[in-house]
Amino acid sequence: MKRSHHVALALLGAAAFGVAACTEEKTEASAFPDKASCLAAAKPDGWFTAADCDTAFAEAQKLHEETAPRYESRELCEAEHGAGACGSDATANNSGGGSVFMPLLMGYMIGQALGGGGRVMAQPVVRSAGGGFATPDGGTRISNLNSGGKISASAFNKAPVTKGLAPMTKTQVQSRGGFGQSATSRGVGG
């Protein structure tokens, strides 16, 4: 009887741990179209400061350059991100001689690092053709900028690096089902 009691407690403890592991941790986050909007919302006693806006904006620009999706044509890029939302990748070294296009940086998210410590996280956002905005991998979508709230901390995971890789072709985009369709989407903001 004693042994079965210990086994039951161990199973109950393991089940509780498993359920806790399935719930994603949430963090404070805000989305802005530019650094000036973030600076206007920053408060010395808030969870992010003007200095955090500067740091997060610089990080978002760097991440966008490294991780934004790249397409073989402007038409394909605009089909995924909307008319006028794409530009050429001036840093692309495409040995095939063709141009590479990527969505323009439309804004960024700033988030409070889990565990505090005063550190903030950043994530660039690009326009989605269906409306709203998304992270470079399309995994997190927000309806508008200048919004905030709680978001899954995983929204700040770095997207795969695309810089230096061959741009996506129409066939590759269709096989994914469109921008962000291979990733699990998470809604944010309102």
7 domain-assigned: no
Question: What pLDDT score was predicted for residue 117?
Answer: 63
Q: How far, in Å, CA of 141 to CA of 148, rounded? A: 13
Higher pLDDT, 187 or 23: 23
117 domain-assigned: yes
Contacts 24+ apart (CB under 8 A), 111-116: 111/27, 111/28, 111/29, 111/30, 111/151, 111/153, 111/155, 111/156, 112/27, 112/28, 112/29, 112/47, 112/48, 113/27, 114/25, 114/27, 114/153
Produce one character per residue of 103-139: b if its CB has 16 or more CB atoms within 10 Å, e if not.
bbbbbbbbbbeeeeeeebbbbbbbbbbeebbbbbbbb
Mean pLDDT of 4-28: 52
If you count them, how many residues does the chain have? 190
Residue 104 clears pLDDT 50, i.e. is over it: yes
Question: What pLDDT score was predicted for residue 17?
Answer: 40
**pLDDT above 70: percentage of residues in the chain:** 74
Residue 53 clears pLDDT 60, i.e. is over it: yes
2 domain-assigned: no
Pick the range with the lowest mean pLDDT from 18-32, 93-107, 139-153. Answer: 18-32
> pLDDT category, 129, cuts 50, 70, 90?
confident
Burial class of residue 25 (count of CB atoms within 10 Å of its CB; 0-12, 13-18, 19+):
exposed
94 domain-assigned: yes
142 domain-assigned: yes
32 domain-assigned: yes
Category of 146 on φ-ψ map: left (φ > 0), alpha (ψ -120 to 50) or beta: left
Mean pLDDT of 15-40: 77
Q: How many domains does the chain have?
A: 1
pTM of the model: 0.77
133 domain-assigned: yes
Domain that holds residue 177: 25-188
Question: What pLDDT score was predicted for residue 12?
Answer: 38
Mean pLDDT of 158-177: 88
13 domain-assigned: no
Longest CA–CA span in the chain (Å) reads 75
